[in-house]
Amino acid sequence: MNLNAQLLVKKGFFSALTGLIFTLVLPACSVAETFNNTNPNVGPKSLGDVIEWRLSKNASPARVAIEVSDEWRNLTPQPHPYAIWIGHATYLIDTGDVTILTDPIFSDRASPVSWAGPERLIPPAMSVQQLPKIDAVLISHNHYDHLDLPSLKLLQKNNPNMVILAPQGDKELLDSEGLNHVSEFRWWQNIQVKQTEFIFTPVQHWSGRGITGRNTSLWGGWFLKSPALSLYHAGDTGYSKDFVATQERLGTPDFAFIPIGAYKPRWFMKGSHIDPAEAVQVALDLQVSKSFGMHWGTFVLTDEKIKEPRTLLAEALIKRQLAPDFFVAPKPGAILKLVP
């Protein structure tokens, strides 16, 4: 083996070790309650699978930036119900009754440390200081790209009365970090904030923030029923029958927010991350007439090219003979009207 090859092997090995830290898939040692998917045969990949992926993966995709809009600056004091994609799984949503942030991450990295881990490709479309008053924060699960403690602390500083709705098993962490008004939920449990009902729903994923505690907190989506409209945010998920069950139990939302990125390689990611074609199927399962993409274009987490999810989404719509506006991948910062 020549010197260059040896260096590549060493680089791949150390990259694998770093990847292990940030993908957080080492077996749990905790005696706390653990959770499973509705299909209990689907769970986190093994340590061996992670090593295989990290050592055999192609070079990381080129770091390119997707286009960001500043249309959000045109918001009026009393706008129609709207949503704005901030980036990744973070949406600012105003239903006309409550103002919500989903999985807020405003940090430069999706990581437990500031000096390593996935780094943003684009800044948040809006800063925390530019946000309106927030009534509620929704957390889908505790991975670092969805439960970002620095962002939550800053949001609480600016919104001391906001409530944080989190999966079962995460309240202790949030409480220990000085966060207030935290409630935790199992699947199908609900709470009312103002006139809006929030229901925590099953999706197919997993949880963990360290070398212990894998699946000791739950994961899920959020279904909102407000006086003017109903919404669904899928969080982070692989494809399952959970979306059919959600529609049958809660009805059809007016709008859905569904992930379309972080799906390659499929042998590794399929159980926990849908690809664009599966995202379209999720929308069909929910019987929703308008969906918006997320979970792409913000961090390099997997192997697909940065802009590929939007391209494959358009191809999936053509293949299913669906209108282009049935499911769109909006620009961060654009104002999305939520008028049923």
User: Quick one: pLDDT at residue 23?
Assistant: 43
- Find the helix or strand (DSSP H, E) in which 188 lies: none
The whole model's pTM is what?
0.90
User: Quick one: pLDDT at residue 78?
Assistant: 72
Cis check: omega of the bond before 265, within 30 degrees of 0 = yes
User: Quick one: pLDDT at residue 55?
Assistant: 74
User: Quick one: pLDDT at residue 46?
Assistant: 66
User: Quick one: pLDDT at residue 273?
Assistant: 98
What are φ and ψ of residue 172, in 5° steps? -60, -45
Confirm if 148 and 128 have CB atoms less than 8 A apart: no
Question: Which residue stretches of 73-231 are H helix?
Answer: 149-158, 171-176
Mind listing the pLDDT tens digit for each residue in 232-289?
999 999 999 999 999 999 999 999 999 999 999 999 999 999 999 999 999 999 999 9
Q: Which residue numbers in the chain have pLDDT < 70?
A: 1-31, 45-46, 57-59
C-alpha 318/C-alpha 1 separation (Å) is 48
Give the DSSP per-residue string, 219-272.
Answer: --EEEEE-SS-EEEE--S-B--THHHHHHHHH---SEEEEE-----SHHHHTTT
What are φ and ψ of residue 5, in 5° steps? -65, -40
User: Quick one: pLDDT at residue 29?
Assistant: 39
User: Quick one: pLDDT at residue 340?
Assistant: 85
Residue 48 tokens read as: 């061996």
User: Quick one: pLDDT at residue 210?
Assistant: 81
Residue 176 tokens read as: 């220990």
